[in-house]
Amino acid sequence: MDNQTPENLIKQRTLLIQEVLSLQEFVRGTLVKTKKKCGRKSCKCEKGLLHPHIYISTSRNRRNQVVYIRPNEVGQAEHYIKNYRKLTETLDKISQVNIALLKLEKNNTVKKGK
């Protein structure tokens, strides 16, 4: 991001902000896919056909939080989680752009001071 004009950087930042706006469906968490027995004695799971046990593990105020997911919702859950990663990557890029802008401002101030 060196040798950039402030105009270019601001343009980049605008594009990245638009990307942020397109990533509204996000969740911070991890998808956990396991299987388990339900506890009913006559159930097929007692013979080894375990039930899918899927959840998003996340934290809230440093406490663990679990959101159960139906098997047919796995794709959606993965989409939300993937978007969160993209969002943090995009925010990091915006931060880099802003650092470049701050550096440019500082350089300009130094030049003016001469």
Biggest CA–CA distance in the chain, Å, is 86
Question: Which residue number, 37 or 82, has a Cβ lying nearer to Zn ion?
Answer: 37
Report the alpha-carbon distance of residue 29 to residue 55 in Å, rounded: 10
Stretch that binds Zn ion, among 42-50, 53-61, 62-70, 91-99 (CB under 5 A): 42-50
Q: Which residue of 43, 67, 99, 102 would you call a contact of Zn ion, by CB under 5 A?
A: 43
Question: Which residue number, 10 or 49, has a Cβ lying nearer to Zn ion?
Answer: 49
Question: Which residue number, 6 or 52, has a Cβ lying nearer to Zn ion?
Answer: 52
- Give the bridge partners for 66, in sequence order: 57
Strands (E), the chain: 30-36, 51-60, 63-69
Q: Which residue of 20, 31, 45, 101 would you call a contact of Zn ion, by CB under 5 A?
A: 45
- Give the bridge partners for 67, in sequence order: 56
Q: Where does this chain bind Zn ion (CB under 5 A)?
A: 38, 43, 45
